[in-house]
Amino acid sequence: MKRYILLAVALVSVAVYLFPLYWMYVTALKSGTEIFQYPPTFWPPHPQWNFRQVFLQHSMASYLWNSLVIAVGVTAITVVIGTGAAYSLARIRNRWTSVALFTVLMLQVLPSSLMVTPLFVAFNQMGLLATPRLAVTLAQAAKVLTLYIVICRSTFLQVPRELEEAALVDGNSRIGAFFRIIVPLARNGILVTSVLIFLQSFGEFVYSRSLISEKSLQTATVGLSEFVGPQINDWNGIMTYSAIYITPILIVFVLLQRRIVSGLTAGALK
């Protein structure tokens, strides 16, 4: 009996918590007049499928493409640079690696909105703002690289040291053992962390908003914030835009949810 009361309490809290998501989808399906009804309807009596129209009208293809380019670039840089560092920081314990790890942990906490001012000025002076998507990619990679290292390091800590030693005795060089034994064994952790980094970068806002001035190069978050604007009345259009944007993110998250959660918690508490 007690178990079912608990289940009921849990169901209610999930429903309350997920209401904003539900409201986004419901509003997206309502018509322009329906959304301004008061009291509001909690289920659209005449669902409207205006996804295609919003997608085309607000050049979402271009926005999403730019977000994708940046997210892919960030993920690539992070994986290439971060994987080896995470591995070495997991393997070796001495004064230097402690200093390096401390540096990584400290740089992890710098808020993007505060770092963007010096980055903007410096990139401007270096001429990097001529290629603004590259500028955003480089800045965002520095932001997520620390998180990637911290989470991947905890994955590498779980690979027994003897396996690498066995590989060395069997005839591998350090590089060979890394690519043929260590990386295949940490593959899941690396993959999940990369997905996480990818999703975060796909929703990046501060750097894109501040470093990209040309509309055709801007990302989906910036597109959404332009859409919202100061005088808003197209709420179902905005919610449709949001739904198109985040549904793929939610799908990926639901598919990998358990692994992402275990990766994140390991990274934060170890």
Running DSSP on this structure, what letter comes out for residue 40? P
- The rounded distance, in Å, linking the Cα atoms of 270 and 182 is 20
Taking CB under 8 A as the criterion, the residue among 54, 60, 79, 104 binding another protein is 104
Smallest distance from another protein to CB 217, Å:
17
Smallest distance from another protein to CB 111, Å:
4
Smallest distance from another protein to CB 55, Å:
16
Asked if 85 touches another protein (CB under 8 A), the answer is yes
Q: 203 to 262, contacts with another protein by CB under 8 A?
A: 203-206, 209-210, 221, 224-225, 228, 235, 238-239, 242, 245-246, 249-250, 253-254, 257-258, 260-261
- The rounded distance, in Å, linking the Cα atoms of 254 and 238 is 23
Q: 123 to 152, contacts with another protein by CB under 8 A?
A: 124-125, 138-139, 141-143, 145-146, 149
The first and second tokens of residue 202, run together, are: 């796909």
Running DSSP on this structure, what letter comes out for residue 158? T
Taking CB under 8 A as the criterion, the residue among 60, 74, 144, 199 binding another protein is 199
Q: C-alpha dihedral over 84, 82, 152, 265, to 10 degrees?
A: 160
Smallest distance from another protein to CB 172, Å:
6
Q: Please check whether residue 101 is in contact with residue 256, taking contact to mean a CB–CB distance below 8 angstroms.
A: no
Taking CB under 8 A as the criterion, the residue among 7, 56, 61, 130 binding another protein is 7
Query: Among 145, 58, 49, 162, which residue's Cα sits nearest to residue 105?
Result: 145
Smallest distance from another protein to CB 179, Å:
12
Q: Please count the residues of this chain forming the interface with another protein, following the rule CB under 8 A.
A: 117
Q: 174 to 193, contacts with another protein by CB under 8 A?
A: 174-176, 178, 181, 184-185
For 158-185, give one letter per residue: b (16+ CB within 10 A) or e.
Answer: ebeeeebeebeeeebeeeebbeebbbeb
Taking CB under 8 A as the criterion, the residue among 79, 202, 217, 240 binding another protein is 202
Q: 21 to 80, contacts with another protein by CB under 8 A?
A: 21, 23-24, 27, 35-40, 77
Taking CB under 8 A as the criterion, the residue among 52, 53, 158, 170 binding another protein is 170
Q: Please check whether residue 51 is in contact with residue 27, taking contact to mean a CB–CB distance below 8 angstroms.
A: no
Q: Please check whether residue 85 is in contact with residue 97, taking contact to mean a CB–CB distance below 8 angstroms.
A: no
Residue closer to another protein (CB basis): 9 or 56 = 9
Count CB atoms within 10 A of the CB of residue 32.
Answer: 13
